[in-house]
Amino acid sequence: MNIRLIHTILFLLIQQCTLWIDARSQTGKESQFTSRLNVSYLFGGQFYNDHFIYNPGFSIQYTHSYKVSNSFEAGIGTGYIHLLDESFVPVYVEVLGYKKHSRNSPFIRFQLGGSAAWYRNDNYPSDYDLKGGIFFSAGMGRKILINDRYSVLFQWSLCHISALVEYQIFDGEDYSSLASYDMVQLSFGIMRH
Name the domain count of the chain: 1
Residue 116, amino acid: A
C-alpha–C-alpha distance, residues 34 and 193, integer Å:
5
**Tens of pLDDT along the chain (193 residues)?**
456 666 566 666 655 655 555 555 455 566 788 889 999 999 888 876 677 888 899 999 999 999 898 889 999 999 999 988 888 999 999 999 998 777 789 999 999 999 988 877 666 666 677 888 999 999 999 999 998 888 999 999 999 999 888 877 777 778 787 888 899 999 999 998 8
Instruction: Name which of 83, 105, 85 is nearest 96 in CA terms.
Output: 105
C-alpha–C-alpha distance, residues 111 and 93, integer Å:
6
Answer for the pair 4, 118: CB distance below 8 angstroms, yes or no. Answer: no
Q: Is the pTM of this model over 0.75?
A: yes
Q: Which domain holds residue 26?
A: 2-192
Residues with Cβ within 8 Å of 145's Cβ and at least 6 positions away in sequence, in order, are 103, 104, 151
End-to-end CA distance of the chain: 35
Q: What is the CATH number of the domain that holds 67?
A: 2.40.160.20
Instruction: Name which of 188, 134, 131 is nearest 160 in CA terms.
Output: 134
